[in-house]
Amino acid sequence: MGRKLAFIGLGVMGYPMAGHLAAAGHQVTVYNRTATTAERWTRNHEGQRAATPAEAAREADVVFACVGNDDHLRSVTLGPNGAFGAMKKGAVFVDHTTASAAIARELHDAARERGLHFLDAPVSGGQAGAENGTLTVMVGGDREPFEQAEGLIHHFARYVKLLGPAGSGQLAKMVNQICIAGVVQGLAEALHFAEQAGLDAAAVVDVISKGAAQSWQMDNRAQTMIENKFDFGFAVDWMRKDLGIALDEARRNGAHLPLAALVDQFYGEVQALGGNRWDTSSLIARLRALSARPSTTVADR
């Protein structure tokens, strides 16, 4: 018999993550703000649904969550029907939301006051990683609850690491998103340059991907960028949320992020093109749109 678990938030990430826990033989109770999604999950997996986060969390040894932002997270933990008010002493709350380090520290302290444990554990790998059980998980919090939850997290992750005290997971996710923003912008500019120069962009990628220019983005997104296809996972709206969190944190800690700030503006221009739900590789669409304008100059770009 598996452990009693809860999963709060069944979006494109949480839905398959909860499914992996159920497939591993654990007793999973799910909660989702849109009840029909939770109903669909219970039709497809062994488990049950709850009407509130508190109901889902009441008997669970470990409660997982993957919701939208700081406000959603505060609501499902500390709200009138929040999980913290119902969890049993010593239970662990594992938050996979990409949120601020400040909310992670706040909830870590609030959990400790109630005799609970809290881990901030944002993920990288996108929808495909969640579906395939190959996510990377960056964790902040205390060692003891991490050791209680680590084996469970491995049901949907290929790599999990405790990086430091509360908030460390969220800070590491900010580092992740800063890296991705720069790499995708560089790849977009390179492919756009190849196209403008009259090169066979796919052939060029085939060559340079064997050398120092190689990256995950090049291996997985270059061809779809060339084909102007942007329906492959992590949306521009979500990336702007994440970059906004990183830029806010940088203002607090004194870090200088000129490239991240610039790419965030570029994503704003992609949104203006109607690309809110396009994936993050759609930065190249902005460059193509600029080139299509009759009087575009290098300075305009």
Length of the chain: 301
Residue 1 — pLDDT band, cuts 50, 70, 90? Answer: low
Interval 162-209: pLDDT, tens? 999 999 999 999 999 999 999 999 999 999 999 999 999 999 999 999
Alpha-carbon distances, residue 141 vs 46, 152, 271 (angstroms): 30, 16, 35
Residue 241 — pLDDT band, cuts 50, 70, 90? Answer: very high
297/235: higher pLDDT? 235
Residue 296 has pLDDT above 70, yes or no: no
123 and 44 co-located in one domain: yes
The catalytic position among 173, 210, 229, 241 is 173
In a domain, 301, yes or no: no
How buried is residue 8: exposed, middle or buried, by Cβ count under 10 Å (0-12/13-18/19+)? buried
Rounded CA-CA distance 287/292 in Å is: 9
At 166 the pLDDT is 98
Q: CA 71: distance to chain centroid?
A: 16
At 300 the pLDDT is 53
Residue 297 — pLDDT band, cuts 50, 70, 90? Answer: low
Three-state secondary structure of the chain: CCCEEEEECCCCCHHHHHHHHHHCCCEEEEECCCHHHHHHHHHHCCCEECCCHHHHHCCCCEEEECCCCHHHHHHHHHCCCCHHHCCCCCCEEEECCCCCHHHHHHHHHHHHHCCCEEEECCEECHHHHHHHCCEEEEEECCHHHHHHHHHHHCCCEEEEEEEECCCHHHHHHHHHHHHHHHHHHHHHHHHHHHHHCCCCHHHHHHHHCCCCCCCHHHHHHHHHHHCCCCCCCCEHHHHHHHHHHHHHHHHHHCCCCHHHHHHHHHHHHHHHCCCCCCEHHHHHHHHHHHHHCCCCCCCCC
146 and 186 co-located in one domain: no
Q: Of 143, 164, 185, which closes a domain?
A: 164
Mean pLDDT of 225-249: 96
Q: Of 164, 187, 202, which closes a domain?
A: 164
- What is the pTM for the complete model shown? 0.94
Alpha-carbon distances, residue 290 vs 186, 264, 271, 286, 287 (angstroms): 16, 17, 14, 6, 5
Q: How far apart are the first and last CA of the chain?
A: 59
- The CATH number given to whatever domain includes residue 280 is 1.10.1040.10
User: How many separate domains does the chain show?
Assistant: 2
At 49 the pLDDT is 97
Residue 298 has pLDDT above 70, yes or no: no
- Residue found by looking up tokens 């756009």 in the block: 192
Residue 265 has pLDDT above 80, yes or no: yes
Active site residue 88: no
Interval 24-59: pLDDT, tens? 999 999 999 999 999 999 999 999 999 999 999 999
Q: Where in the sequence is the domain holding 103, given as residue range(s)? A: 4-164
202 and 149 co-located in one domain: no
Rounded CA-CA distance 72/11 in Å is: 13
Q: Of 131, 146, 164, which closes a domain?
A: 164
- The CATH number given to whatever domain includes residue 124 is 3.40.50.720
Interval 86-134: pLDDT, tens? 999 999 999 999 999 999 999 999 999 999 999 999 999 999 999 999 9
178 and 288 co-located in one domain: yes
In a domain, 81, yes or no: yes
71 and 96 co-located in one domain: yes
152 and 194 co-located in one domain: no
Residues of the chain above pLDDT 90, percent:
95
- Residue found by looking up tokens 């949907």 in the block: 156
Mean pLDDT of 220-237: 95
